[in-house]
A and B are shown apart, each in its own frame.
Chain A
Amino acid sequence: DTEVTQTPKHLVMGMTNKKSLKCEQHMGHRAMYWYKQKAKKPPELMFVYSYEKLSINESVPSRFSPECPNSSLLNLHLHALQPEDSALYLCASSALLREGTDTQYFGPGTRLTVL
């Protein structure tokens, strides 16, 4: 099973709301990623967790707060977002293999609209 699931599929929120995006994988992968993708643009890396520890924060504003409760779950907590944060948010995971290459598997994404 090479599936990464994300919930919800769509989310509409106001600028004062607090919401969370969820990502789950059951492939035993030890790295998980959040990407942001604006319309007709490539995905941009936001955060990387490896072995449940935050490894990379690509200078993401603090209104985005990632959390990795365990090796299968990745959350992205949202607070006080701006309309320009509207985008497709993609989660990915990879095995962190010591040999060979480390393919990332992506979920279907959450389409976020900030009003």
Chain B
Amino acid sequence: LAKTTQPISMDSYEGQEVNITCSHNNIATNDYITWYQQFPSQGPRFIIQGYKTKVTNEVASLFIPADRKSSTLSLPRVSLSDTAVYYCLVGDKRIGGYNKLIFGAGTRLAVHP
């Protein structure tokens, strides 16, 4: 499974757009890129997943360049409730099998008033 590297922490202010970049230089052809969000004392929550180019849902956008060696999670107009740890994960979908998730250190995002 490809190793991921993210900034340890980031600070932002309410209403701003936040971009968190994740490096995954050894990503394999079959690997998907997944982002999870975790609040203190809660389980991680799936945010978004992609394979290439751009994916957007009601919560975030995920930008993946052509070489797929990095990805950027974009959170539009953050609020105080977006303060959390954000994990970038890279792993393959095993047909007929489970998907083993290896969490990296994650990025602690602090949103200030």
Contacts and interface: CB of A to CB of B under 8 A. Distances in A.
Contacts, number: 63
A12 B49 CA distance: 37
Residue from the set A31, A56, A104 with the largest chain B CB neighbour count within 10 Å: A104
A105 B101 CA distance: 12
A42 B46 contact: no
A64 to B, nearest CB: 18
A91 B43 CA distance: 8
Interface in A1-34: 4, 31, 33
Interface stretch (B12-20, B56-64, B89-97): B89-97
B41 A109 contact: yes
Interface string A72-110: 000000000000000010111010101011111111110
Interface string B33-50: 010000001111110010
A109 B98 contact: no
17 contacts: A42-B105, A43-B101, A44-B103, A48-B98, A50-B98, A55-B97, A55-B98, A94-B98, A94-B99, A101-B49, A101-B99, A102-B98, A102-B99, A103-B34, A103-B49, A104-B46, A108-B43
Q: Top 8 closest A-B pairs, CB basis?
A: A106-B43, A42-B103, A102-B99, A31-B98, A90-B43, A106-B44, A103-B46, A43-B103
